[in-house]
Structure 1
């Protein structure tokens, strides 16, 4: 896994470079997700390990900027859910990336992969189902922080509003 601070994940969805300023610098990391047999196949153990590493990298990066602990916690949870979604559901993907940046008065989290583009779906799982709540959680966290989320092809993103004193 490598952390970089230069190129955007996707020029179609990345915010304008003029919007990047302190207190949040850009964090970008790429990681292998392994070959996939299709939706719902077993999670590659290496890819599963990378979810935890990306979570830790995100927390360390955001903590360094002095963001409120509640925002850091929720941003780490969003990253975890979006990255898990990519490594679990991308078809044919071998590489993924996460990018955390400032977009105006928001913290923007972007996760992309090189697999077949598909549209993420918010599910309504039964109480006894173990999976299917990740995007509902992302949707709720985005709303709770005055933000939004969405997807374009192989890129999924979420924006969380920064506290007023950091805007």
Structure 2
């Protein structure tokens, strides 16, 4: 979903040559991407309405902090944080999310009315980085997807993000 389109599609209609698609790359690489659902037990999926997303900190081979929340309802009751400690991050790689020593990424999550707060001592998941690049002006763009699994009130819970993109 976040790959840049470089071709142009041309359609011949009668004698006219029509061309479209030149803006496609801009739409696909927007820094405002976030698609995620909260799945609790057998209930219907709930869309996660995080409209504030930021790459709070990125220091190559040292630290990554991503924060997402709700603009009109900020705070720890409506927030997702992914934090990586020291180590290299690369495009095309998948990293373990969890509370254990093998986990490369630590997480916290809350969505008012559904999940008050975690981390618990037992959560797991993965983060796949689709794109991680820094331009000559120092702007970093990170896109990917992630899933986090945990229990809340004896129910299985999954935070499933099929697409996100953040930048600093």
TM-score, length basis structure 1: 0.25
- The TM-score, its normalising length taken from structure 2, stands at 0.25
Q: Say which one has the larger Rg.
A: 2
More strand by share: 2
More helix by share: 1
